[in-house]
Amino acid sequence: MASHPGNDGPPPLLGRRAPPCVLLLCHPIEFSLLDRPLPDNFRFLKPWESPLPLDDFLSSADARPAEAILTNGRAPVTADMLRRLPGVRLVFTSSAGVNHIDLAECRRRGIAVAGAGDAYSEDVADLAVGLLMDVLRKVSASDRHVRRGLWSSEGEVALSSKLGGKRVGIVGLGKIGLKVAKRLEAFGCAVSYNSRNTKPCVPYPFYSDVSELAANCDALVICCGLNEQTHHMITREVLLALGKEGMIVNVGRGSIVDEKEMVQLLVQAELEGAGLDVFENEPDIPEELLALDNVVLSPHSAVFTPESFSDICNLAVGNLEAFFSNKPLLSPVLYQ
């Protein structure tokens, strides 16, 4: 679904008696961190300003006028919510993933969905390569050693490994995965990939089986989205296929990896290291990871740059304006 569902679409912005009503499911930190005001050509409903709990607010008369919902990856849009908001015709999420939105219910109700599109790809790809470089060269570990008074010439710092020449497998060669691949190529890495389908215009070897990909790589970089097919896609078997010198980087979603198995293998030194921006039960992180010197942790912040936030603010407003002007969405989520 790439544009407005329904026959006539919403009334256009021009000629409306009142501005379109948009429900903000969560505080729009992208706007607040940039000290950027919300546009005044929409009426924004802010549940956090209500004395009611969110669930009660959604059932109240105050929420009833909502024609669109703005959310992020941490605020689900459920079938029950949509049933209580019958006027909603558009859902925009500032996240790259859409697993928090009930797409089946959106389809049933003819609700259009738009997302972050390509807004975050560069920044997420940068962090993915940065995490891999950090784990390989032990940047964070070396920083901790220096702060403890240790020094390399005294043999107190472990050897690191260079990135160039490494065989890196990318799981999910979408917009982010492709940008990761290009960056790794520049470092002289041998890139291969696993994805839902082969990509006809890329030069990298394709593996339909992710375990086979892992067996032929020194590191895996997880870039795919989370859905029923990718949940716990990275199993113990896949991780063991990487081998004791293998490394894993995850900038996709935490639940793509069987986190319990990954932690166990890291503790048992059956994996060389990991760079993780996402976790299975955020913000709870397994305590075992905190004690490991070969693991680099990031608080799901790959997109936390002023450039990304500026782009997503523009995209959110642009999609709202396009939808309520009966124009094509700027970043539609295609679903069947």
pLDDT digits (tens, 9 = 90+) for 71-124: 998 899 999 999 999 999 999 999 988 999 999 999 999 999 999 999 999 999
Q: Quick one: 98 and 188 in the same domain?
A: no
Token pair belonging to 20:
């379109």
Q: Quick one: 199 and 251 in the same domain?
A: yes
Q: Quick one: 190 and 263 in the same domain?
A: yes
Q: Quick one: 241 and 282 in the same domain?
A: yes
Catalytic (active site) residue 300: yes
H or E segment and range at residue 169: strand 167-171
Token pair belonging to 76:
């689900």
Angle at 157 between CA 152 and CA 159, to 5 degrees: 100
Least Cα distance to 90 among 271, 307, 328 occurs for 328
The pLDDT value given to residue 109 = 97
CA distance 221 to 239: 12
CA distance 247 to 128: 12
Identify whether 5 is part of a domain: no
pLDDT at 49 over 90: yes
Q: Quick one: 175 and 293 in the same domain?
A: yes
Q: Quick one: 226 and 313 in the same domain?
A: no
Q: Quick one: 316 and 245 in the same domain?
A: no
What value does the mean pLDDT of the chain take?
93
Identify whether 245 is part of a domain: yes
Which residue in 107, 231, 300, 321 is the catalytic one?
300
CA distance 89 to 336: 17
Identify whether 186 is part of a domain: yes
Identify whether 9 is part of a domain: no
Identify whether 15 is part of a domain: no
Range of the domain at 104: 21-119+306-323
pLDDT digits (tens, 9 = 90+) for 173-182: 999 999 999 9
Which residue in 185, 212, 270, 282 is the catalytic one?
282
Q: Following CA atoms 200, 202, 205, 208 in sequence, which dihedral angle do they give, to the nearest 10 degrees?
A: -50
Residue 9 pLDDT grade (very low, low, confident, very high; cuts 50, 70, 90):
low
Q: Quick one: 240 and 262 in the same domain?
A: yes
pLDDT digits (tens, 9 = 90+) for 220-276: 999 999 999 999 999 999 999 999 999 999 999 999 999 999 999 999 999 999 999
The pLDDT value given to residue 35 = 76
Q: Quick one: 107 and 131 in the same domain?
A: no
Which residue in 4, 67, 253, 280 is the catalytic one?
253
pLDDT at 5 over 80: no
Q: Quick one: 73 and 94 in the same domain?
A: yes
Residue 16 pLDDT grade (very low, low, confident, very high; cuts 50, 70, 90):
low
Residue 41 is part of a domain; what is its CATH number?
Answer: 3.40.50.720
Identify whether 4 is part of a domain: no
Domain count, the chain: 2
Q: Quick one: 148 and 258 in the same domain?
A: yes
Q: Quick one: 86 and 202 in the same domain?
A: no
Catalytic (active site) residue 167: no
